[in-house]
Structure 1
Amino acid sequence: MPPPRPPSGRACACCTTPHPPTPARTPGAPRTAPPGRARRAAGDGGPERWSDEHARLGADEAYARIGDPPPVDRLVVCHGDACVPNTLLHDDGTFAAHVDLGSLGVADRWADLAVAAWSTEWNYGPGYDGIVYAAYGVAPDPERIAYYRLLWDLG
């Protein structure tokens, strides 16, 4: 099987337009899909498994930094483990399916966007995260990206 091809400048069908807003289960208290649940279930976790940018913090400092989430930008149905291997594409690069939906829930769209864009670096190398944001139609939001990526590693 050939290695995966980097994105060609177009995203999967679900990322070409923002997902429709979905109401939270309890008014004013959105349920979030906790990123990293699959890694935690697999026994991963702890600074030795975190990204380089977070591993240097150590557990105490990382947990101290997480604090309250930024204000919700837009509540959507989130995958909860939005990484490249969980998005299947046809041979022509068009969207086929999402898999591993065990963490599906309602959350700020940045919970998925920050991790999905980040995972392009893990899977293809640097320089593809901007394609994800552009295809989704948003400018990168450094505060939300930093928060949700740290939350992912702490997941």
Structure 2
Amino acid sequence: MSTEVPAVIAELAGDDTVTLVWRNELGGLTYRLDGAVVRYAKWVAAGTPEIDLMAEAERLAWASRWVAVPPVLEHGTSPGEEWLVTAAVPGTSAVNERWRGEPEVAARAIGRGLRLLHDTLPASACPYDWSVERRLRRARERFADGEGPDDWSPEHRHLGLDEARAIIERPPPLDRPVVCHGDACVPNTLLHDDGAFAAHVDLGSLGVADRWADLAVAAWSLDHDFGPGHDAGLYEGYGIEPDPVRLAYYRLLWDLA
């Protein structure tokens, strides 16, 4: 990956080695800063939709009281940009080549990590919301902006706009409200060298929702990153039987919202 390092990141790095490790679809950049200590710096252009690094900093600080997440070192904004610096935490991303060769190990660890998150963070004390109601508002905004089937994943395009809208407006009954990760895709779980769950990263959407909202994203991401057939390990690690209705609903909501 080759992208010019933003000036603020170069300044933050000083003499550290700067390596671009992730560029998301919205243009957000994540750099590894290697020096006396290892840090990670996220950068995004001001006004980028769906990315709020202040929100992530707040959520990391809140969650860190109970679970392993990257400690926030610095957050800042300027008229044209926003950045967030966190300390490194032990572990490698579950999408690392090591775990691509052992997808069943990664799937079980992701399941165990989500169960730990859901059982440990206190939903009754969480000030952040990731509910269906909130996400439906975003989906309706996207519809109003003219987005439709061509903007969705292939598995949902056959539904058409009217049918898809009707489905997401009728959510299944709430199973168990928990503090959800909000983006429980494979790269956002870190594993120890022995395959045990280590930590979660990228918690910018953390908030209270049905646990199936996280499980649906995690299972879908396993298909994308490792190919189909590995989600059984996710449910085993979590300790739950799959719920096809809720999984399908929350995949569609993720896609549209």
Q: What is the correspondence of 1:57-72 to structure 2 with a 5 Å cutoff?
A: 57-72=159-174
User: How has the CA–CA distance of structure 1 residues 148 and 3 changed in structure 2, closer, same or farther, with 3 Å as cutoff?
Assistant: same
One-letter amino acid of the structure 2 residue matched with residue 14 of structure 1:
G
Contact 1:25 1:31 (8 Å CA) reproduced: no
User: How has the CA–CA distance of structure 1 residues 3 and 11 changed in structure 2, closer, same or farther, with 3 Å as cutoff?
Assistant: closer
One-letter amino acid of the structure 2 residue matched with residue 19 of structure 1:
H
Matched, 1:19 2:115: no
How far apart are residue 48 of structure 1 and its match?
2.9
Alignment counterpart, residue 53 of structure 1, candidates 152, 155, 160 = 155
One-letter amino acid of the structure 1 residue matched with residue 131 of structure 2:
T
Alignment counterpart, residue 201 of structure 2, candidates 86, 91, 99 = 99
Distance 2:149 2:99 in 1: 28
User: How has the CA–CA distance of structure 1 residues 2 and 143 changed in structure 2, closer, same or farther, with 3 Å as cutoff?
Assistant: closer
How far apart are residue 98 of structure 1 and its match?
1.2
Contact 1:18 1:137 (8 Å CA) reproduced: no
How far apart are residue 46 of structure 1 and its match?
4.2
Distance 2:125 2:166 in 1: 27
Contact 1:24 1:106 (8 Å CA) reproduced: no
User: How has the CA–CA distance of structure 1 residues 46 and 91 changed in structure 2, closer, same or farther, with 3 Å as cutoff?
Assistant: farther
Contact 2:178 2:210 (8 Å CA) reproduced: yes
Distance 1:51 1:105 in 2: 24
Distance 1:25 1:88 in 2: 23
Question: Match for residue 247 of structure 2?
Answer: 145
How far apart are residue 15 of structure 1 and its match?
3.5
Distance 1:2 1:18 in 2: 25
One-letter amino acid of the structure 2 residue matched with residue 148 of structure 1:
Y
How far apart are residue 24 of structure 1 and its match?
7.7
| Greater relative contact order (Cα < 8 A, sep 6+) | 1
Gaps of 5+ in 2: 1-95
Matched, 1:126 2:223: no
**Identity among equivalent pairs (%):** 62
Q: How many positions carry a matched residue from both structures? A: 145
Contact 1:24 1:31 (8 Å CA) reproduced: no
Contact 1:17 1:135 (8 Å CA) reproduced: no
Distance 2:125 2:148 in 1: 30
Distance 1:31 1:121 in 2: 23
Question: Match for residue 108 of structure 2?
Answer: 10
Q: What is the correspondence of 1:26-37 to structure 2 with a 5 Å cutoff?
A: 32=131, 34=135
Alignment counterpart, residue 112 of structure 1, candidates 192, 214, 224 = 214
Gaps of 5+ in 1: none
One-letter amino acid of the structure 1 residue matched with residue 104 of structure 2:
P
Distance 2:227 2:130 in 1: 32
Contact 2:185 2:218 (8 Å CA) reproduced: yes
How far apart are residue 50 of structure 1 and its match?
2.3
TM-score (norm 1): 0.78
CA RMSD in angstroms, aligned pairs only: 2.9
